[in-house]
Structure 1
Amino acid sequence: MKYILVFLSLVSLKVMAGPGHEHSHGKGHSHSHEKSVSISKEQTQAIGRYHVERLVKAKKIDKSWLDSSYEKTIQKTFGKRKEWVLTFVNDKGIKGKKLYIFLKLSGEFIAANFSGK
């Protein structure tokens, strides 16, 4: 009888804890060892255009940037990290005539500015 009570107590604790109470191995540490896939230089233009439109919609840059033209994409190293740097040109730009969009090699947005730095 004593063993049954102990067993039921342990089982009920596990059930009450629910699925969201697993033990974690550190702060957000992932055990995935997959390398991120790099996008091609050709793919950066469409991603950059998407971010230009997104920044206009968010009112971070003026509407004239919707008519900007894509100039180039280069791969640049900042510290130990390589990034794609895209340049868009807009002669009607208010804050600047060139917009630089920074992407991770995987295509994820990092930042945008008018200085290129």
Structure 2
Amino acid sequence: MPDLAEQLDTATGKPAGVRKLVRKYSTYTLLVLDEWLLDKPDERMRSFLLEIMEHRYDTVSTVFVTQYPVKDWHERLGGDVTADAIMDRIVHNGITINTGEYNMRRHHAHPTTTN
């Protein structure tokens, strides 16, 4: 998501830049959005996400990787009509896989030793 936000910033200053970016992300057979909603998206990003989700809906797959439960996404998306529209396109025909609370980074971290 942070890289996507950066690409959106760059595309915004170019003629038809955002439209081209929407087309680009709409056509991937599988789109993985890592760090989904780590930062709350601003209005421009929310509109962009709605356009992508609209184009992808019921045609290709999108994976959302996040630390937030689905029940919290609406609020993190702004809690308004745009958030409703984005969530509608995500949750219908969606599959949720809860991986639990297990933290692999913590599990594989080497304990620090003190002298």
TM-score range, shorter chain: under 0.3
Relative contact order, higher structure (CA 8 A, sep 6+): 2
* TM-score of the two chains, using structure 2 as the length reference: 0.24
Bigger strand fraction: 1
Bigger helix fraction: 2
Instruction: State which structure, 1 or 2, has the greater radius of gyration over its C-alpha atoms.
Output: 1
* TM-score of the two chains, using structure 1 as the length reference: 0.24
